[in-house]
Each structure stands twice: as C-alpha cells, then as structure tokens.
C-alpha cells in the first residue's frame, strides 16, 4: 500500500572496483616503463651536449692563452733525469694557467704558480669548476679528492710510496701525445719535460735558483704540422666506475706532480677506454662514460666525438702533432 511518499530510485555506488584500480596501475606502469628510457636518453643527450660545450670552452680558453703568450700552456713543469733545472715539479697544471681565459681572473689571482700545489691554500686547491667536469659523471658537489698516500708502480712513470695532495678533480685532460720514445730512447721518455709529442705537454722549467720563472719547451700552433683540425688538444680522461675522486685514478687536476692528473696519451698500446669499467693500471687513457664515444676538442677549437673502437694507430696519429700522417677525427 502506498503511504504517499514518493518512490526513491535505487542507489548507485560510485568509484573504482579493485580490479579497475589494478588495471589502471598496470597501464600506468607500462606507460612509465615505455617512456623512462626515452626520458633517460633525452637527459643523457643533454649531458653529452653540455660536456662538448665544456670542451669547447676549454679549447677556446687555451687558444686565447696561445694568442697572449705565443705558446700553448705547459701541461705541467717537469725536469729530465740528470738535469740541473729541477725546480717547478708539483706546481699548478695548465688548468690553472687558463683560468683568466675562462673569466676566472679572481680565482687565478689566488694561486701562486711558482709554488707547489701542496703549498697553496686548501680553499683554493679544493675549489672545483663546473667547466672542468662532465655532467654525466658529476657536478661540483662531488669533485674533490682527499690527500692520500698510495704505492705506485714504475709503469706510470713513478714508483714507490707517493702522497697525492687533495684538491679539486677534473674530467678532462690535455693531449700529451703518444708512446713514441723521446730523447733518451725509452718508451717512458714521454713522461719527462719536453719529450711529449702532443700539444699540452710536460715542459722543463726555466729556473731562478729554486723558483720557476718560465717554461722552456713551448709548443705553438705552428708546431702542429699535421694540422690543427687533425690534432687533439684535450679530451675526456678515463676514470673507471667507482673511482671518482679516488687516488691515483682521479687525483686533483690542479696537481702538476703526476702527468695523469691533467694529461693523457693515445696510440698503439694506449686505446681509448672501451667502457667505463676498463682498468687502466698505467693511468694513460682517454675515455668517457658516454655510450660508444669519447669527446675531444681539436687544436683548432672544434669539438669531435671519437668512437671508443677507433684503431690505436689512427688514435696515435690524432695525438701526435707532427708525425707527417695527418688524419681526420671522423
């Protein structure tokens, strides 16, 4: 019997069922899985571009240094065995010398390039610069090695117990050349002052008693007879995964005591590191954490990406400034 109240429509329930919710979550997961590699590739592509731009800035600064001093900067100061001009070893590397040409005049003014890096202010030698770092590896918040003592082998041009002063680390290195013997006829000759056949090389110091006042072995673009577009100026230095800021694999790039801190070589016996896991016990190789290639700036300031699989003979010709075998980086 109708009591006079209007009939109420049946109630409907809104919202998702558990099954519908699970389906939505699954679809979102699938879409995320499909999109994530593309996002990661886009980010890495941006990092590669930034890395290349850093090398471009380094190359431009180095060539501007050349225009001012009529020579490329010495990679570091280093004597030859038996020489009397023993001053300068351990003073700042070429990275410090090009600071004024990277708009870092104030920072450069805090350095004394005639003094050992270990005698510089800790705040100065531990200050990293973004332009010296590859964004695929790190930023300035993760670019500092601590003072450490390790045992080295003679294969790297040094031996015995060595103390590395702490300081800012870098991801790039100057081209010191290849393993061609130098003045003394040994394959380790490249390590000593004036023997490198690249463009950023170790140089003997001109000494005023115990103080270096100039460098002797000056390389200019005229000496790059294979052609500035065919000769590497600098590139990414190899650091194995897990060895960022570790001594001796990634010591301070300002430290001129050891060649591998700021320079590398390439050629027969010294390939570009084929992967970031490559173990280079001698600390000679160029190498990157980018997939398949390593970035270099040539001696004309242009930037090239060179395949990790390039044959070492061709690599050596790109590193040797005057071997009469000019080749293209491509």
In eight-state DSSP terms, residue 326 is -
**59 burial level (CB within 10 Å; 0-12, 13-18, 19+):** buried
Radius of gyration of the chain (CA): 27
Q: Evaluate the CA torsion angle 17, 23, 28, 33 in order and state its sign.
A: positive
Q: What is the pTM of this model?
A: 0.85
- Provide the pLDDT for residue 30: 78
Q: Give pLDDT tens digits for 130-178.
A: 999 999 999 999 998 887 767 665 545 555 677 788 899 999 999 999 9
Residue labelled with tokens 């100065």: 124
- pLDDT > 70 fraction of the chain, expressed in percent and rounded: 85
pLDDT-derived band at 10 (thresholds 50, 70, 90) equals low
């Amino acid at each position: 019997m109708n009591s006079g109240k209007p009939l109420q429509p049946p109630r409907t329930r809104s919202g998702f069922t558990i099954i519908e919710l699970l389906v939505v979550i699954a679809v979102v997961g699938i879409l995320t899985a499909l999109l994530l590699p593309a996002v990661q590739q886009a980010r890495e592509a941006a990092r590669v571009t930034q890395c290349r731009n850093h090398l471009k800035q380094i190359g431009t600064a180095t060539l501007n240094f050349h225009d001012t001093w009529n020579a490329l900067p010495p990679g570091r100061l280093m004597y030859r065995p038996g020489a009397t001009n023993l001053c300068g070893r351990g003073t700042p590397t070429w990275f410090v010398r090009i600071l004024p040409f990277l708009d870092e005049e104030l920072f450069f003014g805090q350095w004394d390039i005639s003094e050992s890096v270990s005698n510089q202010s800790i705040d100065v030698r531990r200050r990293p610069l973004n332009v010296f770092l590859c964004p695929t590896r790190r930023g300035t918040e993760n670019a500092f090695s601590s003072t450490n003592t390790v045992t080295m082998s003679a294969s790297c041009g040094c031996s015995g117990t060595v103390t590395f002063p702490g300081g800012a680390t870098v991801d790039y290195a100057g081209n010191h050349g290849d393993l061609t013997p130098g003045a003394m006829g040994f394959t380790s000759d490249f390590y000593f002052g004036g023997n490198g056949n690249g463009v950023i090389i170790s140089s003997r110091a001109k000494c005023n008693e115990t103080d270096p006042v100039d460098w002797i072995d000056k390389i200019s673009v005229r000496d790059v007879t294979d052609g500035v577009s065919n000769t590497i100026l600098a590139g990414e230095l190899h650091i194995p995964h897990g060895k960022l800021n570790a001594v001796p694999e990634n010591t301070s790039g300002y430290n001129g005591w050891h060649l591998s801190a700021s320079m590398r070589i390439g050629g027969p016996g010294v390939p570009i590191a084929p992967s970031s896991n490559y173990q280079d016990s001698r600390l000679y190789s160029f190498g990157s954490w980018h997939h398949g290639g390593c970035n270099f700036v040539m001696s004309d300031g242009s930037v090239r990406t060179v395949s990790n699989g390039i044959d070492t003979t061709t690599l050596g010709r790109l590193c040797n400034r005057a071997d009469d075998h000019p080749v293209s980086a491509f």
